[in-house]
Amino acid sequence: MAKTNAKDSYSAYREIIKELKAGAFKPCYLLMGEEPYYVDKIASYIALNALTEDEKAFNQMVLYGQDVTSAQIVDNARRYPVMAQRQVIIVKEAQQLKGTELLASYFKAMNPSCVLVLCFMGKSVDKRTEFWKAAQKHCRILESVPLRDYEIPDWISAYLKEKGTSIEPQAARLLADFLGTDLQRIVMEIDKLFILMPQGTWAVTTDMVEKSVGVNREFSPFSLFKHITAGDFAKVQPIVEYFSDNEKKFPLVMIISLFYTQLSRILKLHTIRMENPGLSSDKLRELMGLNYYFFQETMQASRFFTFQRTVRAMNLLCSYDSLYKSSDRGEACDGELLMEMICKMMA
């Protein structure tokens, strides 16, 4: 089985939700992975919609892996619904279950009037086990893989598009920089945006994001990196001072992580160019897998960060990440370490 990526997870999630909305409930759903957002969304949809409110009292149960055995789950799954078309059993924290070989046996002869939902949170199933082999043959599976930093802006744009709304690329980037890769947190902030949006507005702007999440685009890691690539130290300094005054909001480790993502993208661009001399911009963008906005941004940044300077900057990030986490930093605050690192990058 090929390794699942974030795009596969999103596609599988959409397919399952589409099936559920059409009323096509499967006898078993195995929901697993490090990204809890899709697992929670599917389990919640089934809990809300598989049964009517009157049917839920006798036909729906929520169990927890640490409190129940596999044998008890199987016993409950084999019983028939009471005055309803189906019964629903949702097992949360299923990664704590013991004796999953009993579930593997159940998969081979499942009760068609039971919808069993197994939620393995924070991890995937061991794919060497009989449980996994049986689940592959008989269960509807979702493996939820977390997105990488650079994939978040596009995810935000796609999410809003499904809601019938667009977002400015810089606004998506600002949200991603501020919120990280936690999809649940991102969705909560987007929901807040919908409440704040003026009636009749069809596009989320950078101004709206600033007001909603309380961040200033001029004092964001995105703007800081942009000024570094422009060689504009005069604009770098006040941002670093702002971050120093707000260390809890902008910890050095977060800024290092964002810079590493940016530099990795630039390094990839240089590598593709060296391997394919004379490559057209369109083909280069295709190989980079970036939308037009982020491709242009990366091209601009690559003029300052040459291949050699990019490699040196990435080594600096690794060094300061280690220094940040060690006792050798002395009394230096995050802002002082950040300023020192940036000065070396720009030298």
**Is residue 188 assigned to a domain?**
yes
Same domain assignment for residues 109 and 163: no
pLDDT at 323: 84
Please say which residue of 144, 164, 190 terminates a domain.
Answer: 144
Please say which residue of 115, 144, 173 terminates a domain.
Answer: 144
CA-nearest of 171, 114, 232, 129 to 106 is 114
Same domain assignment for residues 185 and 251: no
DSSP states of 280-301: -HHHHHHHHT--HHHHHHHHHH
CB 246 within 8 A of CB 333: no
Phi, psi of 59 (to 5 degrees): -125, 5
- State how far the Cα of 307 lies from the Cα of 191, in Å rounded to an integer: 41
Name the residue range of residue 166's domain: 149-215
pLDDT per residue over 291-332, tens digit each?
777 788 899 999 999 999 999 999 999 998 888 877 666 677
Same domain assignment for residues 294 and 174: no
CA-nearest of 247, 267, 263 to 316 is 263
Q: How many domains, the chain?
A: 3
Q: Is the CA virtual torsion 276, 278, 283, 289 positive or negative?
A: positive
**Is residue 195 assigned to a domain?**
yes
CB 30 within 8 A of CB 141: yes
Count of beta carbons in the 10 Å neighbourhood of residue 177: 24
The pair of structure tokens assigned to 174 is: 């600002």
CA 278 to chain CA centroid, nearest Å = 35
Strand runs (DSSP E) across the chain, as ranges? 28-33, 60-64, 87-92, 114-121, 140-144, 166-167, 203-204
- State how far the Cα of 88 lies from the Cα of 60, in Å rounded to an integer: 5
**Is residue 298 assigned to a domain?**
yes
More confident residue, 239 or 212: 239
**Is residue 198 assigned to a domain?**
yes
Q: What letter would DSSP give residue 4?
A: P
Count of beta carbons in the 10 Å neighbourhood of residue 21: 10
Same domain assignment for residues 138 and 169: no
**Is residue 60 assigned to a domain?**
yes
CA end-to-end distance (rounded Å), the chain: 47
**Is residue 1 assigned to a domain?**
no
Same domain assignment for residues 334 and 240: yes
pLDDT per residue over 182-211, tens digit each?
898 889 888 888 777 777 677 888 888 877
pLDDT at 203: 83
Same domain assignment for residues 156 and 196: yes
Beta bridge partners of 64: 92
CB 83 within 8 A of CB 52: no
CATH of residue 129's domain is 3.40.50.300
CA-nearest of 252, 170, 182, 258 to 218 is 170
Question: What residue type is 25 in one-letter code?
Answer: F
DSSP, collapsed to helix, strand or coil, labels residue 123 as strand
**Is residue 237 assigned to a domain?**
yes
- State how far the Cα of 262 lies from the Cα of 265, in Å rounded to an integer: 5
**Is residue 336 assigned to a domain?**
yes
CATH of residue 210's domain is 1.10.8.60
CATH of residue 267's domain is 1.20.272.10
Please say which residue of 215, 240, 258 terminates a domain.
Answer: 215
pLDDT per residue over 47-71, tens digit each?
999 999 999 999 999 999 999 999 9
Same domain assignment for residues 93 and 171: no
Same domain assignment for residues 157 and 189: yes
Same domain assignment for residues 199 and 232: no
Provide, rounded to the nearest whole percent, the portion of the chain with pLDDT above 90. Answer: 48
pLDDT per residue over 68-122, tens digit each?
999 999 999 999 999 999 999 999 999 999 889 999 999 999 999 999 999 998 8
Same domain assignment for residues 262 and 165: no
Count of beta carbons in the 10 Å neighbourhood of residue 237: 13
pLDDT per residue over 264-279, tens digit each?
999 999 999 999 988 8
Beta bridge partners of 29: 117, 140
Same domain assignment for residues 159 and 139: no
Same domain assignment for residues 322 and 205: no
CB 61 within 8 A of CB 47: no
